[in-house]
Amino acid sequence: MQKYIYNLCSWILGTIPIQVKQSDDVGRNPIDNFAWAISRAGKKKGVFVAFSYSKGAFEEVARAKQNNGIDLKLLTIDDMLKAEFNPMEMF
């Protein structure tokens, strides 16, 4: 598992923005802020990692994709700990 986390970080650093929150029930606002930061950086993809997300977070991901063409992936720690998790297949 540690290998995949290392690969994820190696792959994303310098290429795809990542934000990690040690929080449960991350809502719409942090996702919206991250989407705007991605847009300002001239990127079109990003990864957000947290313990869990609210319904509003998933709605914001859909809105960012539809309105701005930004592809956000919401990962949980549980997702990353699954044996079949492969960061190279995220996008």
Mean per-residue pLDDT of the chain? 84
Average pLDDT on 3-20 reads 62
State the amino acid at position 88 in one-letter form.
M
Report the chain's terminal Cα–Cα distance, integer Å: 19
Which tokens is 29 given?
A: 């606002």
State the amino acid at position 62 in one-letter form.
A
pLDDT digits (tens, 9 = 90+) for 63-88: 999 999 999 999 998 888 876 777 66
Exposed/middle/buried for residue 62 (C-beta within 10 Å: 0-12, 13-18, 19+)? exposed
Q: Can you give the pLDDT at residue 16? A: 83
